[in-house]
Amino acid sequence: MSWLIPQQKRHLPGKRWISIALRSLHLVGIAGLAGAYLFNQPQSVWFPYLIVGVGSGVLMVAKELYVDTIWLYQLRGQLVLFKLLLLAAGIYWFAQPQAWIYILVILISGIISHAPGKIRYYSVIYGKTFTREVWMGMSEPKIRDCGDN
């Protein structure tokens, strides 16, 4: 797995401000899209929000993956994928808008973004908090103590 997770995080100049801008755009896009969708507005009303919401979401995921792909192994990344599945399910399984899907996605987003690191960095795959330090400890070869007797 070392090909997927680099030895060190990649540096991205202005990462914090990029994150703030993308997150803000994402909120605008998702709020507009959810409102237009739930109130049965025509495509001309909700399509620009779709572009802003999906575009900013894709850029946020790309930023996380560029900086550190360990994100995929942590609950914060895994829940993004789960939210995408929920939204896709809403499009394909239901003929009418389902407010509970949007509410659940929003609740997941709010909870995970404000949860302590112990939860955000937890890995369902490894069953423990999974940080770069843990990963490095797992990937380092163990040195056998032969002893000098």
Mind listing the pLDDT tens digit for each residue in 90-116? 777 777 767 888 889 889 999 999 999
Q: What is the structure's pLDDT at 22?
A: 96
How do 122-123 and 128-129 pair as beta strands?
A: antiparallel
What whole-number percentage of the chain has pLDDT above 70? 89
* DSSP code string of 128-147: EE--HHHHHHHHSPPPP---
**pLDDT value of residue 23:** 94
Whole-angstrom distance, CA of residue 79 vs CA of residue 111:
11
CB contact burial 33-46 (16+ within 10 A = b; e otherwise): bbebbeeeeeeeeb
Angle among Cα 139, 119, 62 to the nearest 5 degrees reads: 65
Amino acid at 143: I
Please indicate whether residue 65 or residue 143 has the higher confidence score (pLDDT): 65
Percent of the chain with pLDDT over 90: 42
Say if residue 85's pLDDT is above 50.
Answer: yes
| Whole-angstrom distance, CA of residue 117 vs CA of residue 81 | 19
Is the per-residue pLDDT at 143 higher than 70?
no
Q: What is the pLDDT of residue 15?
A: 92
Q: In terms of pLDDT, which residue wins out, 35 or 112?
A: 112
- Least Cα distance to 83 among 55, 62, 103 occurs for 103
